[in-house]
Amino acid sequence: MSLAVAGAGAPALPARAADFLQLTKPRITLLVVLTTLVGFLEGSARPRDIELLLHTLLGTALVAAAASALNQLAERHSDALMRRTMSRPLAAGRMSAVQAAAFGLVLLAAGTAYLLLAVNELAAALALLTAASYLLAYTPLKKVTSLATVIGAVPGAIPPMIGWAAARGSLDAGAWILFGIVFFWQMPHFLAIAVLYRRDYERAGFRVLPVADPDGRSTGRQALLYAATLLPLSLLPSFVGLAGPWYFAGALVLGALFVAASARLLARPGDVARARSLFRLSLVYLPVLFLLLTTG
């Protein structure tokens, strides 16, 4: 009988672990870790302190995972209304709010304390600022104004600065350039997503721009504006000693493609196929740009 009970309970453990993992939004956490890595690599002198790098990435990952978990806690009722999120643990009722809150708060405290003790105060403060602005500004404003996307791009762009601060203990022009690149990249990326899932966002009451802009013209203009601003900004690393001519050439080509994809969306506002093309290009743009930056 005891064997039967043990066998019946065994599948629940992997399923529960998978739910907690889903709560951390692994893809977003991975992006945060990768952009933090870029900031560290660009901000550190050779030979690099690998132990410090690992401490930085672990602490940042914990804080990012915590922010994602607490965001899902806050948006669990809205997530239940959207097809793309209704299977999340809280939205589907597989996890209680108390469990998610405890999980998120423990991760937040652990990640912040880890950065404070193993890295430095500035890196810990930036990580905490990232989580706080994401949870206390971006998350509640999503149902109030389409400007929430712009506000949400701020915490999304801070992770490279965490890496830079970990490596140098301070922030200077290079850190702000990395912040700007990620900030302006996010806008066409998020606007394309919002076009693709406009009905979902509308159903949940999120005031993303495509919901407030049914014909899509303003969305297309905004995507093009941010992509066009990103292009010259992405060239700056070559002028401040962070990258060489190969990076410059690659950034120029990538930026031109990004601008062209955004212009195509503006030419046919609200077109789902063109929004999907812009979204897919955005997924290629940032990793390739940062690969060129760190290897060039």
20-53 per-position pLDDT tens digit: 999 999 999 999 999 999 999 999 988 899 999 9
Compute the distance between CA of residue 177 and CA of residue 198 in angstroms, rounded to an integer.
31
Q: Are both 24 and 147 inside the same structural domain?
A: yes
In the prediction, which pLDDT does 215 show? 86
The residue out of 111, 140, 171 marking a domain boundary is 171
Q: Would the pLDDT of 12 be above 80?
A: no
My answer on whether 290 and 187 are in the same domain is: yes
Q: Are residues 111 and 186 in the same domain?
A: no
- Both 182 and 164 in one domain: the answer is no
Q: Which two tokens stand for residue 249?
A: 């050439």
Q: Is the pLDDT of residue 10 over 80?
A: no
In 10 A of CB 223, how many CB atoms? 31
- Please indicate, yes or no, if residue 261 is contained in any of the structural domains: yes
- Asked if residue 33 and residue 150 are part of one domain, the reply reads yes
Q: How many domains does the chain have?
A: 2
Domain end among 171, 203, 235: 171
CA neighbor of 242 nearest in space, from 296, 289, 180: 296
Asked whether residue 283 is domain-assigned, the answer is yes
Are residues 90 and 186 located together in one domain of the fold?
no
In a domain, 1, yes or no: no
Check whether residue 135 and residue 202 sit in a common domain: no
Confidence of residue 140 (pLDDT cuts 50, 70, 90): very high
Q: Is 6 a residue whose pLDDT tops 50?
A: no
Please check whether residue 2 lies inside any domain of the structure.
Answer: no
pLDDT number for residue 15: 86
For 143-147, what is the mean pLDDT?
A: 94
Task: Give residue 3's pLDDT.
Answer: 39
Find the domain containing 91 and state its range: 12-171
Question: pLDDT band at 13, cuts 50/70/90?
Answer: confident
Last residue of a domain, one of 138, 171, 204: 171
The per-residue pLDDT for range 174-233, each reduced to its tens digit, is 999 999 999 999 999 999 999 999 999 999 999 999 998 888 899 999 999 999 999 999
Share of the chain above pLDDT 90, in %: 91
Q: What is the pLDDT of residue 186?
A: 98
Domain of 101, CATH number, reads 1.10.357.140
Q: Comparing C-alpha atoms, which of 212, 204, 126, 208 is closest to residue 163?
A: 126
- Tell whether 108 is covered by a domain: yes
Asked if residue 153 and residue 212 are part of one domain, the reply reads no
Its pTM stands at 0.93
Mean pLDDT computed over every residue of the chain? 94
Residues 177 and 277 reside in one and the same domain:
yes
Q: Contact at 8 Å (CB) between 157 and 179?
A: yes
Q: Are residues 256 and 197 in the same domain?
A: yes
